[in-house]
Chain A
Amino acid sequence: MRAFQNLFALLKSGYLPALQILFPLALLIMVTQGTCHAADITVTATLNRASMSVEETAEMVVTVNGSGSAELNMAEVDGLGFTQRGHSRQLQFINGTASASLSITYLIQAMKPGSYVIPAVTVEVEGKKLQTEAIPLEVTSSSPQQQESTPSPSSLDLPGEKDGQKAFLRAEVQNQSYVGERVPLQIKAYFPQHVQASVNTLPGLLGSGFVMEQLDSRPRQTTERLNGTAYNALSWNTHLTGIKEGQFPFQLQLDATLLIRQKTKSPFTGQDPFADDFFTHFLGGFERKPIKINTPETTLEILPLPTENQPEDFSGAIGDFTLQVKASPTFIEIGQPLSITMIVEGTGNFDRVEAPIFPNHPGWKSYSPAGQYTPIEESRKGRKVFEQAVVINDKAISHIPQLSFSYFDPLKKQYVTRFSTPIPLEIKAPVNQSPAPQPTAAGGLSEKISKTDPPKTEESIKKDLAPLHPEIGKLSRTFAPLFVHPWFQAFVICCGLFLFLLLGLLIRNRRLNLHPAEIRKKQRRQLLTQASKELEQAIAAGDSSTFLARCRSVIQQQLGLCWQVPPETITLADLTARLGKKSALVEIFAAAEKGAYAGYELSADTMRQFADTLNKECGQLP
């Protein structure tokens, strides 16, 4: 690789013409380097340090001068691990003589402290075996700066490792807590250093009876050595809170993907053809192996809080807290609000920490407190600050009374009550009877204090209510709205159906209006049906003149609608001109004309024939 890099550097530096000569020459030398005399070849091994700790590594370089290729045979040493980290070749021209050298670098890791001797490395060059000198190496235990993680007795057993798994998960939590208590939980995922891994999910809780607080998506990363193996460790710190009493087994599970390097071997040499790390990374010689790692099952016993000696103001806070109370201002007028700040600080379940109860007294009006929690950085402590507005209405009030906050201490296994010290106040009568401000909806003192609304005491609230209604009004048994009543629904359904009917008729009429030919055709059909009946009656009565007159009018009606002209204006000449002399309708019309003006009579058979023809011809009109 270095040879390629040097070549690339030369190309970049503008030595291309020279290289045109030197490169073939160098290649010739490299090819023929095996012809160098063995007497010119020397082998050396150097170690960059004589001593190291078990966490550290040493670098050993085996250099072969006088040859560009060699085969090394490293002897195994119990307690030491050798990892080849790369090799380089160099080509030198001194006084026209070319010489090559080969350097191979190894990293040495020690499994345990002790005095070691790295034995002589056997190098085979051109069929001859050469040896380096043995090198002593002193390995000490861990350095004081690096604290080796010593597994606790409960976590020494690594089930994942026993099963041949390469990574494992461990949870450290106390095995007993109280309902509502926040128990610290440390989760650690271990991945061997020689394995690349990616974490797919955050550790999840498998179990019931408690809740786990959300984990940080960026865990702390450290390197640890367990049982002689170096691991990359990811750790999360969180809390478990028991929600009901009992014994609850649980596990934690993590989804990860291991990238395991695959060893490739040449079918010819039996060695890895891309032994260099560069090729291994570049060609992606890794296998992706998804894994699920679990902690061993742990049981957490959740105890109920003792009911004995439970203070009245206990709100469920468990931990260790302090109470501090401040008031501002302490020199006020009657009716002017003052802000009481109550600070509860410590460790524990702050979600259950509630403001100390301000005692009821006719001399003041207290509003609901508003609390805000702030974690204290770089510690497990937190602080919850409550702001409460109080309006003093009595000049006799001389101090803010002692406030108390009770919690359960799980270490002492007893309830503890913290008291504040009374805060002296100086009250004076209002100078100009200016109205006092109004607290906010949240209960804290408003930043924007209203100067129009005086503070409302219970009595004033009662007085300011609108009076009672004197009449009882119409009684009802249900709040059911009108639309759920069946009669209303029936009415709406009827309206809907009627609406659909009307819409259907409107649409139909509109469609017919858009196609007048259809209307005329329908009209002709109706007229023809009616006329057919009359013609049948005339035939039955043997009334030829009526029959002919009706035939004439039928032809005029039908053709009038068809040609869109007034029926009475149609004459025999029109018929002849538009239908032709041979048309059956012309023949019938001519006979009808004769009957009307010349007293022409028809036999019953002829009338029947005319009637059939008339029906047929009129039915075929466009």
Chain B
Amino acid sequence: MKSLFVLLVLLCSFDFSFSSPAVAFANDTASISFQQGTAAYSRGDYDEAIRIFEKIISTHGFSASVLYNLGNSYAQSNKIGKAILSYERARILAPGNPDITGNLQYIRKAHGIFEAEPSLASRCISRLTIDGWSILVAIFFTLICISLAAALLRKKNEMKRWIFIALGCLILLVFSTVASIISYTSRQVFIVTMPKTRILLSPFSTSASIGSIQEGRQLQVKKSHADYYYVIDETGRSGWIPQSAIEAIIVQPDSP
């Protein structure tokens, strides 16, 4: 059993990415750009820092640090919606990072964008990334298989013990799966990135407004029509909003 667990831990900790010289070169270029962006930020040239960090994302991809630094740059430029969006994206990659969480909460509080107190379950789920929960799902799946195989192969008097272990793993598997699903669905939100955005009654620019929504607030998109999304905000208000006024926290693959 002990050797089996050691093998599993080794498997889980194995990095499946294989680096090539081209990748290493790209990472070097990205690192240089990253340092340039950091330097621009340090000298107060936030627009330049934003430009550099955005270019890193579009050229090389993103990391929690790039998104976090971009969020800081936006916050310094008083682009609250974009800052919150970047922090939220960074938080997905590194949910336990205190800098990201701290700055996000700080910016929200400073601009009166308060979130509801997360429940205990939400706090537990947010301890791991969605990939972390997915790995746990795989581990528990494997352990169930091993336990059942042992129950078959071992002596009759040991069968109950192995089945008990399999049931325990099954409970943990269910919990991990639920946590993965909740983590995934909670990322399907949009952030208002345009100031003075109004929620409209109909998907037309001349439509009557049902009120304005603050930059940086979260929305859920239900459907779309032409250049408008039908959204529901945190207070339950629903209406149409221009697509250009909001951005999804999770962007589609290869279009960050």
Chain A interface (Cβ within 8 Å of chain B)? 179-180, 211, 241, 243-245, 304, 316, 349, 351-352, 354, 367-368, 439-443, 453, 456, 458, 461-462, 464-483, 487-488, 491-492, 495-496, 498-499, 502-503, 505-506, 509
Indicate with 1 or 0, residue by residue over B61-96, a CB within 8 angstroms of chain A CB atoms.
111111011001001101000000000010011000
Q: 13 new A-B pairs (CB below 8 Å) besides A443-B214, A465-B75, A475-B66?
A: A211-B201, A244-B207, A352-B208, A439-B112, A440-B112, A466-B99, A472-B56, A478-B61, A480-B253, A482-B131, A495-B145, A499-B144, A499-B148
Instruction: Using known A-B contacts A439-B112, A472-B30, A482-B135, determine if residue A351 contacts B209 with beta carbons closer than 8 Å.
Output: yes
B114 and A441 within 8 A (CB)? yes
A475 and B202 within 8 A (CB)? no
- Pairs A–B under 8 Å by Cβ, sample size 27: A243-B206, A243-B208, A244-B207, A349-B208, A440-B112, A453-B109, A456-B110, A461-B107, A462-B76, A465-B103, A468-B41, A469-B68, A472-B30, A472-B31, A473-B66, A475-B27, A476-B93, A477-B253, A479-B187, A479-B251, A479-B256, A481-B180, A483-B180, A488-B138, A492-B138, A506-B152, A509-B152
Kindly state the separation between the CA atoms of A466 and B102 in the bound complex, as whole angstroms: 8
B134 and A488 within 8 A (CB)? yes
Kindly state the separation between the CA atoms of A456 and B114 in the bound complex, as whole angstroms: 15
B141 and A473 within 8 A (CB)? no
A476 and B89 within 8 A (CB)? no
A491 and B112 within 8 A (CB)? no
Within 8 A of A (CB), among B102-142: 102-103, 106-107, 109-110, 112-114, 130-131, 134-135, 137-138, 141-142
A368 and B112 within 8 A (CB)? yes
B110 and A461 within 8 A (CB)? yes
A476 and B99 within 8 A (CB)? no
Within 8 A of A (CB), among B201-256: 201-202, 204, 206-212, 214, 250-251, 253-254, 256
**A365 vs chain B, min Cβ distance (A):** 10
Contact of B208 among A241, A440, A473, A487 (CB under 8 A): A241
Interface status of B51 (Cβ within 8 A of chain A): no
**A6 vs chain B, min Cβ distance (A):** 66
**A582 vs chain B, min Cβ distance (A):** 43
Which secondary structure dominates chain B's binding surface?
helix
A496 and B141 within 8 A (CB)? yes
Contact partners of A476 in chain B: CB under 8 A: 61-63, 93
Kindly state the separation between the CA atoms of A442 and B111 in the bound complex, as whole angstroms: 10
Interface status of B34 (Cβ within 8 A of chain A): yes
Considering only CB atoms, which chain B residue lies closest to A468 in the complex?
B69
A479 and B250 within 8 A (CB)? yes
The 7 lowest CB-CB distance pairs between A and B, nearest first, are: A473-B63, A469-B65, A478-B253, A482-B134, A502-B148, A477-B61, A475-B61
Interface status of B171 (Cβ within 8 A of chain A): no
Contact partners of B66 in chain A: CB under 8 A: 472-473, 475
Interface status of B182 (Cβ within 8 A of chain A): no
Contact of A179 among B30, B206, B214 (CB under 8 A): B206
**A36 vs chain B, min Cβ distance (A):** 80
Kindly state the separation between the CA atoms of A439 and B134 in the bound complex, as whole angstroms: 41
Contact of A368 among B92, B135, B201, B214 (CB under 8 A): B214
A498 and B27 within 8 A (CB)? no
A474 and B63 within 8 A (CB)? yes
B204 and A244 within 8 A (CB)? yes
Contact of A469 among B31, B99, B109, B152 (CB under 8 A): B99
A245 and B206 within 8 A (CB)? yes
Interface status of B38 (Cβ within 8 A of chain A): yes
Considering only CB atoms, which chain A residue lies closest to B99 in the complex?
A466
Interface status of B149 (Cβ within 8 A of chain A): yes
Interface centre among A453, A475, A478 (most CB of B within 10 A): A475
Kindly state the separation between the CA atoms of A243 and B210 in the bound complex, as whole angstroms: 13
In this complex, the interface size class of chain B, counting residues with CB under 8 Å from chain A, is 35 or more
A316 and B209 within 8 A (CB)? yes
Contact partners of A351 in chain B: CB under 8 A: 208-211
Contact partners of A354 in chain B: CB under 8 A: 212
Kindly state the separation between the CA atoms of A353 and B218 in the bound complex, as whole angstroms: 24
**B138 vs chain A, min Cβ distance (A):** 6
Which secondary structure dominates chain A's binding surface?
loop
Considering only CB atoms, which chain A residue lies closest to B143 in the complex?
A495
Considering only CB atoms, which chain B residue lies closest to A446 in the complex?
B112
Considering only CB atoms, which chain A residue lies closest to B97 in the complex?
A469
Contact of B72 among A468, A478, A492 (CB under 8 A): A468
Kindly state the separation between the CA atoms of A453 and B110 in the bound complex, as whole angstroms: 10
Kindly state the separation between the CA atoms of A545 and B241 in the bound complex, as whole angstroms: 99
**A308 vs chain B, min Cβ distance (A):** 17
Kindly state the separation between the CA atoms of A496 and B75 in the bound complex, as whole angstroms: 47
Interface status of B191 (Cβ within 8 A of chain A): no
B106 and A464 within 8 A (CB)? yes
B27 and A481 within 8 A (CB)? no
B75 and A475 within 8 A (CB)? no
Interface status of B154 (Cβ within 8 A of chain A): no
Contact partners of B30 in chain A: CB under 8 A: 472, 475
Instruction: Using known A-B contacts A461-B107, A472-B31, A475-B60, determine if residue A481 contacts B112 with beta carbons closer than 8 Å.
Output: no
A503 and B138 within 8 A (CB)? no
**B201 vs chain A, min Cβ distance (A):** 6
Kindly state the separation between the CA atoms of A9 and B211 in the bound complex, as whole angstroms: 68
Within 8 A of A (CB), among B2-46: 16, 27, 30-31, 34, 38, 41-42
Considering only CB atoms, which chain B residue lies closest to A443 in the complex?
B112
A492 and B141 within 8 A (CB)? yes
**A307 vs chain B, min Cβ distance (A):** 13
Interface status of B164 (Cβ within 8 A of chain A): no
Considering only CB atoms, which chain A residue lies closest to B44 in the complex?
A462
Considering only CB atoms, which chain B residue lies closest to A509 in the complex?
B152
Interface status of B192 (Cβ within 8 A of chain A): no
**B110 vs chain A, min Cβ distance (A):** 4
Contact of A479 among B78, B92, B114, B135 (CB under 8 A): B92
**A390 vs chain B, min Cβ distance (A):** 13
Interface status of B151 (Cβ within 8 A of chain A): yes
**B224 vs chain A, min Cβ distance (A):** 18
B206 and A491 within 8 A (CB)? no
Instruction: Using known A-B contacts A465-B75, A481-B131, A503-B148, determine if residue A441 contacts B208 with beta carbons closer than 8 Å.
Output: no
**B59 vs chain A, min Cβ distance (A):** 10
**A363 vs chain B, min Cβ distance (A):** 17
Contact partners of B68 in chain A: CB under 8 A: 468-469
Kindly state the separation between the CA atoms of A503 and B93 in the bound complex, as whole angstroms: 37
Kindly state the separation between the CA atoms of A439 and B92 in the bound complex, as whole angstroms: 29
A506 and B151 within 8 A (CB)? yes
Contact partners of B114 in chain A: CB under 8 A: 441
A479 and B253 within 8 A (CB)? yes
Kindly state the separation between the CA atoms of A211 and B207 in the bound complex, as whole angstroms: 9
A367 and B112 within 8 A (CB)? yes
Instruction: Using known A-B contacts A479-B253, A495-B138, determine if residue A211 contacts B144 with beta carbons closer than 8 Å.
Output: no
Instruction: Using known A-B contacts A243-B207, A481-B131, A502-B152, determine if residue A472 contacts B34 with beta carbons closer than 8 Å.
Output: yes
Contact partners of B212 in chain A: CB under 8 A: 354
Contact partners of A179 in chain B: CB under 8 A: 206
Instruction: Using known A-B contacts A352-B209, A466-B99, A477-B254, determine if residue A506 contacts B65 with beta carbons closer than 8 Å.
Output: no
Contact partners of A491 in chain B: CB under 8 A: 138
Contact partners of B72 in chain A: CB under 8 A: 465-466, 468
Instruction: Using known A-B contacts A473-B64, A473-B66, determine if residue A499 contacts B141 with beta carbons closer than 8 Å.
Output: yes
Contact partners of A440 in chain B: CB under 8 A: 112
Kindly state the separation between the CA atoms of A333 and B16 in the bound complex, as whole angstroms: 62
Contact partners of B63 in chain A: CB under 8 A: 472-476
Considering only CB atoms, which chain B residue lies closest to A353 in the complex?
B209
Contact partners of A367 in chain B: CB under 8 A: 112
A495 and B112 within 8 A (CB)? no
**B248 vs chain A, min Cβ distance (A):** 10
**A412 vs chain B, min Cβ distance (A):** 21
